[in-house]
Chain A
Amino acid sequence: MTTLLFFALAAIAVAGAVSLILQKHPIHSALSLIVVMVALAGLYLLLGAEFISAVQIIVYAGAIMVLFIFVIMLLNAGEEERTNFSKMAAYVGLPLAAILGAGLVYWVAHEGSNAPGVPLAESATRPLAMLLFQDYLFPFELTSILILVAILGAVVLAQREKGEE
């Protein structure tokens, strides 16, 4: 059952990622990416990471992708225009990316053990919270400053300058 679920979710994730590349319109790419993220949330559940799964849906699929779709609609982005498509990307990039992917897969399949792994405790959320708010409290607080700086940066960058329009 678990194996079946894994392969179904993996197929959905890979199909979404391929669709992200093949779609011409950015909004279709964004929706494909949401499919990938929801499939990944299912995979996290299979791995016993409920908290990460929930955060994946709420923050990634919910907040970040909505921001993307907002910007696509705000800018009224149309279909990707095919200009003088840089030939280098096609002739050099594709083989390199294929080598990278094949190399990663080969390395993992070759070196990786088939050990099913140590099962975590029934619910990992409580120990995760302990870890986050005790051992990693300082980095956790630092991320709030990072978010604050990012918000300020986004507002300053995107505001219109005086006298413009």
Chain B
Amino acid sequence: MVPFSYYVVLSAVLFGLGVIGFLFKRNIITMFMSIELMLNAVNLAFVAFSRALGQLQGQVFVFFVIVVAAAEAAVGLAIVILIARNRKSLNIERVDLLKL
């Protein structure tokens, strides 16, 4: 039986990697994927705590997080398409002005 703190440590490591990816990548889509990685890390912590405390509410919360992530991906990718169409680039450093 694996102690549940191992799961939470793994979740923290994945979250940290997501933060590093978000800070270092210059491509909008990859930055977006780093955010998804962070959401996944948090989900793992939720499920681990749900197991440790013997309560199912954590898993219900994961379900809602997945739904919100799906909605976020749909709207976010539409925005990415708009940016790519207007600026002809996916580099985040070219999206530093609100005005075209």
Contact = CB atoms under 8 A, between A and B. Distances in A.
Contacts of A150: 70-72, 74-75
A81 to B, nearest CB: 6
B47 A44 contact: yes
B81 A158 contact: yes
B29 A3 contact: no
Interface string B75-92: 101111110100000110
B39 to A, nearest CB: 9
Interface residues of B, number: 69
Given A93-B24, A97-B16, A29 B30 contact: yes
A97 B19 contact: yes
Interface residues of A, number: 85
Contacts of A10: 6, 10
B63 A147 contact: no
B9 A109 contact: yes
Interface of B: 1-10, 12-21, 23-27, 29-30, 32-34, 36-37, 40, 43-44, 47-48, 50-54, 56-57, 59-60, 62-64, 66-75, 77-82, 84, 90-91, 93
Given A49-B51, A108-B12, 5 more contacts: A18-B17, A64-B69, A75-B29, A104-B15, A118-B54
What are the nearest 9 A-B pairs in CB distance? A101-B16, A118-B54, A112-B5, A150-B71, A104-B12, A93-B23, A157-B78, A117-B52, A154-B78
